[in-house]
Amino acid sequence: MANEHNALDIINDPKNRVTDAGNAGAGENGNDVGEPGGENKGVSRRNFLKFGGVAAAAATMAGAAGAGFAVGRSDDAYTGYGRTFQGGDQFFNREPFRCDVPVMMEPVGKVVRPEWTEYLFLRLRALVDIIKSGKWTPDMGVEALPGPVGDHYRARPGELEIMLESLQRNVKRAEAWKKGKNKRYALAGAYNMALRLGGMELPGHVQRIPEDPHDEHMRTGKPIPPEDWDYRGIWREKPMEFKSPKHASVLIKRMAHQFGMSLVGITKFDPRFMFKGVMRGMPDKGHYTWGDKVPEHWKSIIIFGVPMNWDGTYAAVGYSTSFDAYFRSRVAASLMERFIRELGYPARAQFPGSNYEIMMSPYVQLAGLGQYSRAGVVMVPELGANFRPAAIVTNIEFEYDKPIDVKMADFCKKCKICAEQCPSGAIPFDDEPQTVVRGFKRWKLNEEKCYQQWASGPTQDGLGCRVCIGVCPYSRKNTWIHAISREMEPRDPTGLVSQGLLAMQKNFFKFHEAEDYRSDWDGGKEASYHNPPWWMRAENFLEIEKDWEYHGME
């Protein structure tokens, strides 16, 4: 009896009464216990979840926006200076895309080795020497131009005139620099020269790093053949033997990352891509005596490199330089040369700006690092066109990398942004590669026109333009949206991803007119694709009057 009375009291006590909110399923989850009369205090669970969910959605949207902006602006997006020794910047997995022959490297005719005169800087230097010696003046005409340089220009009508105009433009560029450009571009010029004359070379084109056999020849007056130079400093009686070619490859690649390089590939040395008549260390760099000899110990070639500074490249022409990447690649080349010789093997560095016996582009492709592009540079998946390599030639037996096909060349067929943006019109507009160059059909850059823009740009030394590299859709930093694009595009057999990306690139991203990039004295606006980074704006730090406008995307 007592228990029943107590139970009824509990049931009838208004404090214990549960209010019914009239919602389906309300009984399962329970509702607030309220005062008699049904007034609820506090927030119901349902309302908390509903309104909390809305607030959470708004916070998520805001968080996504903030995170996206922070990622895009972050310094961590600047891939490519070997931030991790494990090559962590090398985030693109090439294995699914390996092929046997790089795109545009299947011979369509007789493959011919390049002559030394086909290398613009060697040709230019020789031409200037001929003019300085008094042996030839421009008014004598191309027929009287002596030697291999004359043969080169006689075979290519019209190109000598472009080069001669470039030499005159160099003079105007230097005058413009002295008159006032040195103020606007003070920081860009100082940065450039710090790397060039503080890092890469001494005045008079003597190399600081790496050592160059040409400098040794000039210093001693003696010929320095590769059989001497490449073996210098080896103290071991015989080379240390690797456990296998694969072990050798793994070690050398790790050392390349250890030496600060982002990307590295190894391939067999193919003499088809070695210049004829070039051997540094021999008199006149071997132009007139070396011929087509190939050193016996040149068996393998290791290619490695980094990008140029991203923000500077995007602000080409005036705020960009190749030398930050060149300097780093040269340092790694010097270190790798010595490392290999310490193990008892010969090693010879091939390094930028013009210290080569080889053409770099074919080896970069053969080593599976990238693909040839419309603009005449090799693009790599991680860095686009923004990749500046050096190489080491040696006789170590490696497990070689295979080339890749990530459909970059297919994208180039439709894109053409570099051709549209090129201030000198040097990049071809053909949908398909049309020109047969030494046995291979590819897009052929008009290097004389390209150099003309270099000679006219608002830079201190006239060495580079880089607009094509900055505007290339593949030359993007390491943010998630570009990583997704890079991964999806080559894997899509339908081509829809590629078309979608190209449509976005052409319609979302705004570009200048090509002539806007030219110097103001050359009819342009000195525009840049992006505005220069804050640390390159002289007016931010120096007591100068800003009397120019920026014409870049911001």
Partner 1 sequence: MFPGTTMLNYIFWMVMGALQVLIVMGLVEWLKSRGRKPVWWQVALLYAGFAFLCAVVAGGTTLMGEFETIAGWYFIGVLGLPVVICLAIAVRLFVMKKPTQG
Chain length of the chain: 554
Task: Please report how close the Cβ of residue 510 comes to partner 1 at its closest, in angstroms.
Answer: 5
Identify which range of 101-109, 271-279, 487-495, 503-511 contacts partner 1 by CB under 8 A.
503-511
Residue 285 binds partner 1, judged by CB under 8 A: no
d(CA 550, CA 528): 8
Residue 180 binds partner 1, judged by CB under 8 A: no
Q: Which is nearer to partner 1, 71 or 167 (CB)?
A: 71
Q: Which is nearer to partner 1, 238 or 510 (CB)?
A: 510
Tokens at 466, concatenated:
């880089």
Residue 51 binds partner 1, judged by CB under 8 A: yes
Residue from the set 18, 69, 241, 499 that interacts with partner 1 by CB under 8 A: 69
d(CA 527, CA 550): 7
- Residue 326 has phi, psi (to 5 degrees) of -55, -45
CA of 17: how far to CAs of 24, 29, 30, 43, 226, in Å? 19, 16, 12, 19, 99
Q: Which is nearer to partner 1, 150 or 312 (CB)?
A: 312
Task: Please report how close the Cβ of residue 241 comes to partner 1 at its closest, in angstroms.
Answer: 45
Q: Which is nearer to partner 1, 7 or 64 (CB)?
A: 64
Tokens at 335, concatenated:
């270190």
Check: CB of residue 385 under 8 Å from CB of residue 375.
Answer: yes
d(CA 277, CA 290): 5
Residue 479 binds partner 1, judged by CB under 8 A: yes
Task: Please report how close the Cβ of residue 528 comes to partner 1 at its closest, in angstroms.
Answer: 11
- Binding pattern to partner 1, positions 182-221, x when CB under 8 A? ----------------------------------------
Residue from the set 6, 16, 74, 86 that interacts with partner 1 by CB under 8 A: 74
Task: Please report how close the Cβ of residue 485 comes to partner 1 at its closest, in angstroms.
Answer: 10
Task: Please report how close the Cβ of residue 197 comes to partner 1 at its closest, in angstroms.
Answer: 30
Q: What is the DSSP letter of 282?
A: S
Q: Which is nearer to partner 1, 452 or 475 (CB)?
A: 475
Check: CB of residue 307 under 8 Å from CB of residue 456.
Answer: no
- Kindly provide the b/e burial profile for residues 275-306, where b requires at least 16 CB atoms within 10 angstroms of the residue's own CB: bbbbbbbbbebbbeebeeeebebbbbbbbbbb
Task: Please report how close the Cβ of residue 552 comes to partner 1 at its closest, in angstroms.
Answer: 9
Q: Site for partner 1 (CB under 8 A): how many residues? A: 43
Q: Compute the radius of gyration of the chain from its Cα atoms.
A: 31
Which residues ranging from 515 to 544 are in contact with partner 1 (CB under 8 A)? Answer: 530-531
| β-strand partners of 388 | 306
Number of CB atoms found within 10 A of residue 507's CB: 8
Task: Please report how close the Cβ of residue 467 comes to partner 1 at its closest, in angstroms.
Answer: 16
Tokens at 63, concatenated:
């968080």
d(CA 468, CA 375): 7
Residue 522 burial (C-beta neighbours within 10 Å; 0-12, 13-18, 19+):
buried
Task: Please report how close the Cβ of residue 534 comes to partner 1 at its closest, in angstroms.
Answer: 11
Number of CB atoms found within 10 A of residue 540's CB: 11
CA of 443: how far to CAs of 104, 301, 323, 437, 471, in Å? 9, 25, 26, 9, 18
Which residues ranging from 316 to 375 are in contact with partner 1 (CB under 8 A)? Answer: none
Residue type, 173: R
Task: Please report how close the Cβ of residue 57 comes to partner 1 at its closest, in angstroms.
Answer: 5
Residue that has been written with the tokens 């030494």 in this structure? 438
- Binding pattern to partner 1, positions 7-26, x when CB under 8 A? ----------------xxx-
Q: Which is nearer to partner 1, 83 or 172 (CB)?
A: 83
Q: For residue 348, give the nearest of 303, 407, 298 by alpha carbon.
A: 298
Task: Please report how close the Cβ of residue 55 comes to partner 1 at its closest, in angstroms.
Answer: 8
Residue 67 binds partner 1, judged by CB under 8 A: yes
Identify which range of 8-16, 80-88, 135-143, 505-513 contacts partner 1 by CB under 8 A.
505-513
Task: Please report how close the Cβ of residue 70 comes to partner 1 at its closest, in angstroms.
Answer: 4
Q: Which is nearer to partner 1, 234 or 488 (CB)?
A: 488
DSSP 241-260: PPS-HHHHHHHHHHHHHHTT
d(CA 198, CA 514): 33
- Binding pattern to partner 1, positions 288-317, x when CB under 8 A? --------------------------x---
Residue 43 binds partner 1, judged by CB under 8 A: no
Task: Please report how close the Cβ of residue 466 comes to partner 1 at its closest, in angstroms.
Answer: 17
Residue 49 binds partner 1, judged by CB under 8 A: yes
Residues that bind partner 1 (CB under 8 A): 23-25, 46, 49-54, 56-57, 59-61, 63-74, 77, 314, 476-477, 479-481, 504, 507-510, 530-531, 553-554
